[in-house]
Amino acid sequence: MTEAHVTYPVLEHIRKRSYLKSRDEYTAMYKKSIDEPDEFWREQANRLDWFHPFQKVSDCDLANASIRWYEGGKLNVAHNCLDRHLSERGDQTAIIWEADEAKDGRHISYRELHAEVCKTANVLKSMGVKRGDRVCIYLPMIPELAYTMLACARIGAIHSIVFAGFSAESIRDRILDCEAKMVITANEGVRGGKRIALKSIVDKAVEGLEVVESVLVCRRTDTDVPMKSGRDFSFEEACSKQRPTCPAEWMDAEDPLFILYTSGSTGRPKGLLHTTGGYLTYASLTHKYVFDVHPGDVYCCAADIGWVTGHTYIIYGPLANGATTIMFESVPTYPDPGRYWDIVERHKVNIFYTAPTAIRAIAREGDQWVKKYDRSSLRILGTVGEPINPEAWEWYYDVVGEQKCAIVDTWWQTETGGIMITPLPGVNELKPGAATLPFFGVHPCLVDEEGKKIEATEAKGYLCMQAAWPGLARTVYGDHERFKQTYFSQYPGLYFTGDGCNRDKDGDYWITGRVDDVINVSGHRLGTAEIESSINAHPWVAESAVVGYPHEIKGTGILGFVILNANIGDQAKEEIVQAVREQVATDIGKFARPDLILVCPGLPKTRSGKIMRRILRKISVGEYGNLGNVTTLADPSVVDQIIGVHKEMVKK
Ligand code: WT7
């Protein structure tokens, strides 16, 4: 940490256009946001249209996990994302839909989007969806995903979007947890030239579930799928009967907007609940300043709306700001690894936002895929989801941006609603691998093992927040105690992020990654406990322990140590490994499939039966000689046996 880092000064042509012109300007605004938060956030709320003004800016008590913003205020998110833009930019493109095959894509203006959202809202109402009801959306990246989420917002229903890579089992759990009365899906999804049978996955997910009254099916391909009469309805048919206008509900600032499930170190995924006024204010403000979005800019976030990045930075932030946002249905390597830059050239993209895992995956395909396309429109390059290794950062900066773009390495979480720690264009010099500075209103601190706040600038510790901000999630749906336990109990008075972090002598933050049993695989967040419980469900398996290990493309790969049942006979090793991997793909989703399975004779356990993952993590990176104290193990000899098996696997 004391070593000198390469730094890149602010580029003058970036500063010429940026909203903020200097570090001093940032510092003054930041200081105000921390010293007088209510004043600051009162002003920022003016970014939105309020039907009725709020009475109180904030009422937050982190120690009690009680967070309330803009109470008494009435507004509607869809109105803010659509209606209020119509007079000025009705004909401007709101969404550029970049389809799997580029030729199938289209532009959707604010006026069209408004009409489609209203029709969809009328469909939902006609099918009995009311304010406060939960709607589960399981859709690929098609315009209907935007229509349905905004339609929910318009009528005050709460959407719970489930990434279309999740298994039937995972959808079912999420539907049950939030008691969704409607599920919205598509006949099929199309991704990288392949078709995904979404409707049949939903059929499995909702089978026998009484809470689900209806399934609305969008048509993405010409394949006909079985429709269960009385339950399943065609989205297009339903829309054709509806009018393109629908009044927007007056929602309270603290009314729920959406639930989004995310993994933690223990138990089932948690449904984080975000509300209306604070979330949208935060989404809109961060989108404007972090990406330095100006009128006329074309903005592309290549994430999937199934994750929080897509919620906040494909839909809500950009549309609240009246921007033009791209929805990308395909993958970065289809039809070839030049796809991103093909998009940039065709749509003259100014701001591009993706994940380190995607950057690494296309970087290794060679620079020629980038250089083939004109990228002169690019100004800002963003990254999110996991720590970016300096090599990937440099490649993004040098090759993609030709040293002419500002990079924003944005750290945040599903729980935080929006970006928290990030460079700002025009403000600070860049350091490859550093998320650098807190956004306005964000008050981070580092705490040590004992939970003591570290005052020194140069420090290493657990990243916490000492003040609430409007984008912070309000609760875990249906389980406020769990919300409090998970985030506010380790360090009373602080929000605990679960991340480790270094702060350098300049006060810049470097996120080092999770310190709990959460792993970040290709930017997807997974709990090791979830994967273990899936592996353990396999009839051949007695027990397992999962750890993450460094993976060249994914950032973190998944390694499962597995103990087999005594009575399984002579199954071939290879067959066992494949069966266990498939079990996880089926239970959770393909993106959670373990990279490596190591069949071992035992697991390192303490005398009280706790698996010491620390030892397994060391073994997974080949640090056999550096395992620390193993004398507390019930049977220290298993360690050498596991090392033996691991060595053998590495040899192969
Ligand atoms: C975890 C949150 C919110 C965006 C998508 C992920 C890691 C996220 C960065 C970054 C280092 C990062 C953290 C965090 N993370 N962005 N720029 N640098 N780490 O959301 O699924 O809720 O995961 O992703 O470990 O805790 P998520």
Domains of the chain and any CATH numbers: 522-651 (3.30.300.30)
Alpha helices in 515-567 (DSSP H): 528-536
pLDDT of 631: 85
How many angstroms separate the alpha carbon of residue 526 from the centre of ligand 1?
Answer: 12
Of 454, 460, 486, the residue nearest 473 (C-alpha): 486
Of 107, 527, 148, 146, the residue nearest 348 (C-alpha): 107
Query: Mean pLDDT across the stretch 47-58?
Result: 98
pLDDT of 307: 98
Q: Is the pLDDT of residue 3 over 60?
A: no
Q: Is the pLDDT of residue 569 over 70?
A: no
Three-state DSSP class for residue 507: coil
Largest interatomic CA distance in the chain = 74
Query: Mean pLDDT across the stretch 39-50?
Result: 98
Contact 234, 224 (CB under 8 A): no
CA distances from 540 to 49, 162, 480, 545, 564 (A): 58, 30, 37, 15, 6
**CA–CA distance, 74 with 616 (Å, rounded to integer):** 52
**CA–CA distance, 291 with 313 (Å, rounded to integer):** 10
Of 492, 497, 491, 501, the residue nearest 461 (C-alpha): 501
Structure tokens at 213: 């009254």
Q: How many helices (H) and strands (E) does the chain have?
A: 22, 30
478: Cβ contacts below 8 Å, ≥ 6 apart: 177, 178, 271
Pocket test of ligand 1: the residue of 520, 524, 526, 556 to mutate, having most ligand atoms within 8 Å of its CB, is 520
- List the residue whose alpha carbon is closest to atom 8 of ligand 1: 385
Contact 127, 239 (CB under 8 A): no
Please classify residue 637 by burial: count the beta carbons closer than 10 Å to its beta carbon, then call 0-12 exposed, 13-18 middle and 19+ buried: exposed
Pocket test of ligand 1: the residue of 265, 360, 386, 522 to mutate, having most ligand atoms within 8 Å of its CB, is 386
DSSP string, 281-344: HHHHHHHHHHTT--TT-EEEE-S-TTSHHHIIIIIIHHHHTT-EEEEE-S-TTSSSTTHHHHHH
290: Cβ contacts below 8 Å, ≥ 6 apart: 382, 408, 410, 419, 422, 424, 425, 439
How many angstroms separate the alpha carbon of residue 497 from the centre of ligand 1?
Answer: 10
- Cβ atoms within 10 Å, residue 130: 12
Of ligand 1's atoms, which has the minimum distance to the CA of residue 410? 17
- Banded model confidence at residue 43, pLDDT cuts 50, 70, 90: very high
Phi, psi of 273 (to 5 degrees): -105, 125
* Residue 83 DSSP label: G
How many angstroms separate the alpha carbon of residue 90 from the centre of ligand 1?
Answer: 35
Of ligand 1's atoms, which has the minimum distance to the CA of residue 524? 21
How many angstroms separate the alpha carbon of residue 520 from the centre of ligand 1?
Answer: 8
Query: Mean pLDDT across the stretch 559-588?
Result: 88
Measured from CB, residues less than 6 Å from any atom of ligand 1 are 262, 307-309, 384-387, 409-414, 435, 497-499, 511, 513-514, 520, 525
pLDDT of 572: 79
Query: Mean pLDDT across the stretch 234-243?
Result: 98
pLDDT of 2: 42
Pocket test of ligand 1: the residue of 359, 411, 416, 499 to mutate, having most ligand atoms within 8 Å of its CB, is 411
Of ligand 1's atoms, which has the minimum distance to the CA of residue 309? 4
Lowest mean pLDDT among 6-20, 82-96, 503-517, 557-571: 557-571
How many angstroms separate the alpha carbon of residue 434 from the centre of ligand 1?
Answer: 13
Pocket test of ligand 1: the residue of 525, 530, 554, 591 to mutate, having most ligand atoms within 8 Å of its CB, is 525
Q: Is the pLDDT of residue 4 over 90?
A: no
- Banded model confidence at residue 76, pLDDT cuts 50, 70, 90: very high
How many angstroms separate the alpha carbon of residue 617 from the centre of ligand 1?
Answer: 21
pLDDT of 570: 67
**CA–CA distance, 590 with 574 (Å, rounded to integer):** 19
> What are the pLDDT digits (tens) for 287-338?
999 999 999 999 999 999 999 999 999 999 999 999 999 999 999 999 999 9
Contact 216, 183 (CB under 8 A): yes
- Cβ atoms within 10 Å, residue 149: 29
How many angstroms separate the alpha carbon of residue 306 from the centre of ligand 1?
Answer: 15
Contact 216, 233 (CB under 8 A): yes
- List the residue whose alpha carbon is closest to atom 2 of ligand 1: 413
pLDDT of 461: 98
Of 214, 154, 217, the residue nearest 189 (C-alpha): 217
Q: Is the pLDDT of residue 541 over 50?
A: yes
Q: Is the pLDDT of residue 504 over 80?
A: yes
* Sign (positive or negative) of CA dihedral 16, 22, 26, 29: negative
How many angstroms separate the alpha carbon of residue 187 from the centre of ligand 1?
Answer: 32
- Cβ atoms within 10 Å, residue 403: 9
Of 318, 439, 441, 317, the residue nearest 41 (C-alpha): 441
- Percent of the chain clearing pLDDT 90 (strictly above): 92
Query: Mean pLDDT across the stretch 144-160?
Result: 99
How many angstroms separate the alpha carbon of residue 224 from the centre of ligand 1?
Answer: 39
Q: Is the pLDDT of residue 65 over 50?
A: yes
Of ligand 1's atoms, which has the minimum distance to the CA of residue 514? 25
Q: Can you tell me which residue has the tokens 């009409």? A: 115
Q: Is the pLDDT of residue 573 over 60?
A: yes
How many angstroms separate the alpha carbon of residue 419 from the centre of ligand 1?
Answer: 10
Q: Please tell me the pTM assigned to this model.
A: 0.96
- Banded model confidence at residue 574, pLDDT cuts 50, 70, 90: confident
